[in-house]
Amino acid sequence: MVDVKFPDVGEGVTEGTIVKWLVKEGEEIKADQAVAEIETDKAIVEIPSSEAGKILKLVGKEGDVIKVGSTLASLAVPGETVKKPETGAPEKPTEAKPAEAKLLEEPTEVKPPEVKPQERPAEMPGRALAVPSTRRLARELGVDISKVKGTGPGGRITDEDVRKSTVTEAKVEVPQAPETRKPEAAPVEIAPEIKALEERIPIKGIRKTIGERMVLSLFTAPHVVSMDEADVTELVKLREKEKKMAEEKGIKLTYLAFIVKAVTVALKQHPYLNASLDQKKNEIVLKRYYNIGIAVDTPEGLMVPVIKDADCKSIMELAQVSEKLADEARTRKIKLPDLKGNTFTITNIGSIGGIFSTPIINPPDVAILGIHRIRDMAVVIGGEIKIRKILPIVLSFDHRVLDGAQAARFMNTLIEHLKDPDLLLLDGV
């Protein structure tokens, strides 16, 4: 009998929710056939069986939360006799007692060795169980990974463990936290008729991840916000002109594609905005690659798929890729690699509404750009009042890495290229 387990899918995932069973008990399956769909805090992944066989048992039901390493299903492989375990089942209770006795004796001998590995990381940080990406995250956040308790398989330290460690330390430093918590105990005495009008929704999955990352960002990065406006009258005309040609090619040409291109041009001229902060080494990491995260509103919450090497793509290619990633994010079909590696993030609030906002930086980035709804506004040009297409833009940046002057220069370069889109053909790829 072979067990199909929920494997470690990486990126700090420690648990998931069974969304849908793709097989039934008694069903014959092939090797690599998907057994279930599991929703993690980042995406929905299909879990395959490594071997062919007959499904004997499905563990859990749809909606259950399971830990990494837990058994999802048991199956009998070809050539295996399933009857023997069934006939031997009555004999197991008689053997259970000595087996249980052995188990009771073993922990007293096994416990001491288990304690020692937990003490070693404190003395030898380099030997903490963690993958390279998790160690890098710890360095960026200034977390001593040797002091982090791992919750992953075999005590491995996950990204979530590192983030929780930082959030916990930050909470301890806030003196008013205990005072704000005390009054919250009062709702216990809410009248039954009012409780009947309330609905409690568990915080899990994407919503839980969003909350943890945003708290982490606000606690660690001193946010400064710069607001400005861009005259995009010519950009609007260009998009309308090229829109039909794009549709003939099956491409939905959005303003976002132009903005991503303009951002990559501006980032190359102002490299400190395309960076991260290594808190452990006290170093600013300037990145010569341009992976632009695009915030997408999904039914489950905000997701940020990443356009890799955005500076090497044409405006049409950016439109194609951004639409594809957004659709995959909304349908939860996006792959984990497409949700990581961002060096700068853009959040497009304009598709919904609003004039200005104060977006929170998406770690490990040091800045995030918010774009809003284009409006017709009266502008004085050459002593005359004219109606122009105005795009409100907002830049939130980490004051540990950037000063206001650097942010303003970046915004000026961005506005210049949005105002005159022909520059994108000259300065872009």
Q: What is the pLDDT of residue 276?
A: 97
Q: Return the structure tokens found at 64.
A: 């259950």
When pLDDT is cut at 50, 70 and 90, the band that residue 186 belongs to is: low
Omega before 187 within 30 of 0, i.e. cis:
no
Work out the burial of residue 58: count CB atoms within 10 Å of its CB; fewer than 13 is exposed, 13-18 middle, 19 or more buried: buried
Active-site residue set: 399
The CATH superfamily assigned to 222-427 is: Chloramphenicol acetyltransferase-like domain (3.30.559.10)
Are 223 and 365 in contact, with CB atoms under 8 Å apart? no
Q: Which of 8-12, 116-120, 227-231 has the lowest mean pLDDT?
A: 116-120
Are 424 and 271 in contact, with CB atoms under 8 Å apart? no
Q: What is the pLDDT of residue 90?
A: 46
Tokens 């370069």 locate to 413
Q: In the chain, where are the structural domains located? A: 2-87, 113-220, 222-427
> What average pLDDT does the structure give for the chain?
82
Average pLDDT rounded to a whole number, residues 83-87: 47
* The architecture CATH gives domain 113-220: Irregular (4.10)
Are 110 and 102 in contact, with CB atoms under 8 Å apart? no
Q: Is residue 382 left, alpha or beta, with left meaning phi > 0 and alpha meaning psi from -120 to 50?
A: left
Using the predicted structure, report yes or no on whether residue 221 has a pLDDT greater than 80: yes
Give the C-alpha separation, 233 to 419, whole Å: 7
| Topology of the domain covering 2-87 | OB fold (Dihydrolipoamide Acetyltransferase, E2P) (2.40.50)
Percent of the chain with pLDDT over 90: 44
SS3 at position 355: coil
Half-sphere exposure of 31 (CA within 13 A, CB side): 4
Using the predicted structure, report yes or no on whether residue 359 has a pLDDT greater than 80: yes
* Helix (H) or strand (E) run with residue 343 in it: none
Q: Return the structure tokens found at 24.
A: 């039934």
Q: Return the structure tokens found at 351.
A: 């598709």
Which residue has better confidence, 188 or 60? 60
Angle (CA) 378-382-385 rounded to 5° is: 25
Amino acid letter, 168: T
The model's pTM is 0.64
| DSSP state letter for 128 | S
> Which residues are 36's β-sheet partners?
21, 47
Q: What is the pLDDT of residue 350?
A: 81
DSSP 181-197: HGGGGGGGG--HHHHTT
Q: What is the pLDDT of residue 124?
A: 39
**Radius of gyration from C-alpha coordinates of the chain:** 27
| DSSP state letter for 270 | S
Average pLDDT rounded to a whole number, residues 222-249: 95
| DSSP state letter for 48 | E
Give the C-alpha separation, 429 to 426, whole Å: 8
Q: Please give the backbone phi and psi of residue 248, each rounded to the nearest 5 degrees, phi first.
A: -65, -25
Using the predicted structure, report yes or no on whether residue 149 has a pLDDT greater than 90: no
> Which residues are 71's β-sheet partners?
5
Using the predicted structure, report yes or no on whether residue 115 has a pLDDT greater than 50: no
Are 275 and 221 in contact, with CB atoms under 8 Å apart? no
Angle (CA) 382-388-393 rounded to 5° is: 110
**Tens digits of per-residue pLDDT, 15-67?**
888 888 999 898 888 888 989 988 887 678 889 888 898 888 998 888 888 89
Which residue has better confidence, 103 or 46? 46
Percent of the chain with pLDDT over 70: 79
Strands (E), 22-89: 28-29, 34-39, 44-48, 53-58, 65-67, 71-76
